[in-house]
């Protein structure tokens, strides 16, 4: 499920028209390579799903960018898994909690349950490489991900971006980039 390489478009309505710092370059769209690098490095994401009655459900989780998609796991009985079973459209958000600097990212897409054993093993390895011992359970698995996935007590979802947004802040300069896949 690799994502294509989109071209970012700057939305001038929400970006600094000119850079207020003397001699600085004009505001441009963020390159997808930079956004992808930040998705790969992000430790915490916020998943937004829709409950069967239409109310939103938002929860923090850990995830890994790999092969053009964001991967995360959950228990099959948890609210997010129930929501995704009814409506797989979702958004994953990450960024820096600062007004002065950072790049907040939103990835919108459709969550697909991952069942291929080879892909699951790749995801387990990617999660464990990214988070190391800080997110490993006493049993030696990634929050039960390894054995849990193998036993079916943990489900894994992949979200390939359909649309993504980047909201940048750098010393009073703001940018809003949209990527379409």
Given this model, what pLDDT does residue 14 score?
83
**Interacting residues of 37 by C-beta distance below 8 A, sequence separation 6+:** none
Query: Domain extents for the chain?
Result: 8-180
Given this model, what pLDDT does residue 17 score?
63
Residue 129 has pLDDT above 80, yes or no: yes
The percent of residues above 70 in pLDDT, for the chain, comes to: 82
Residue 13 has pLDDT above 60, yes or no: yes
Residue 121, SS3 per DSSP: helix
Contact 2, 68 (CB under 8 A): yes
Contact 37, 103 (CB under 8 A): no
- The per-residue pLDDT for range 130-179, each reduced to its tens digit, is 988 655 555 444 455 555 555 567 899 999 999 999 999 987 889 999 99
The mean pLDDT value of the chain amounts to: 86
Contact 101, 171 (CB under 8 A): yes
From its phi and psi, is residue 57 left (phi > 0), alpha (psi between -120 and 50) or beta?
A: beta
- The per-residue pLDDT for range 74-93, each reduced to its tens digit, is 999 999 999 999 999 999 99
Given this model, what pLDDT does residue 142 score?
46
Report, at the CATH architecture level, how domain 8-180 is classified. Answer: Roll (2.30)
54, 56, 69, 76, 175 from 85: Cα distances, Å: 14, 14, 19, 10, 35
Given this model, what pLDDT does residue 140 score?
44
Given this model, what pLDDT does residue 95 score?
96
Residue 64, SS3 per DSSP: strand
Burial class (CB in 10 A: 0-12, 13-18, 19+), 11: middle
């Amino acid at each position: 499920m690799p994502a294509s390489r989109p071209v970012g478009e700057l939305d001038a309505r929400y970006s600094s028209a000119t850079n207020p710092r003397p001699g600085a370059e004009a505001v441009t769209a963020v390159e997808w390579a930079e956004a992808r690098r930040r998705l790969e490095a992000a430790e915490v994401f916020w998943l937004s799903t829709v409950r069967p009655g239409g109310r939103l459900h938002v929860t923090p989780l850990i995830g890994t960018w790999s092969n053009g998609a964001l991967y995360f796991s959950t228990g099959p009985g948890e609210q997010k898994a129930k929501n995704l079973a009814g409506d797989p459209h979702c958004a994953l958000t990450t960024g820096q909690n600062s007004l002065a600097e950072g790049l907040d990212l939103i990835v919108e897409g459709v969550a697909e349950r991952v069942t291929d054993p080879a892909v699951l093993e790749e995801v387990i390895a990617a999660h464990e490489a990214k988070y190391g011992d800080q997110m490993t359970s006493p049993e030696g698995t990634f929050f039960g991900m390894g054995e849990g996935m193998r036993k079916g007590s943990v489900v894994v979802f992949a979200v390939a971006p359909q649309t993504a947004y980047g909201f940048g802040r750098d010393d009073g300069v703001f940018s809003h980039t949209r990527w379409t896949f």
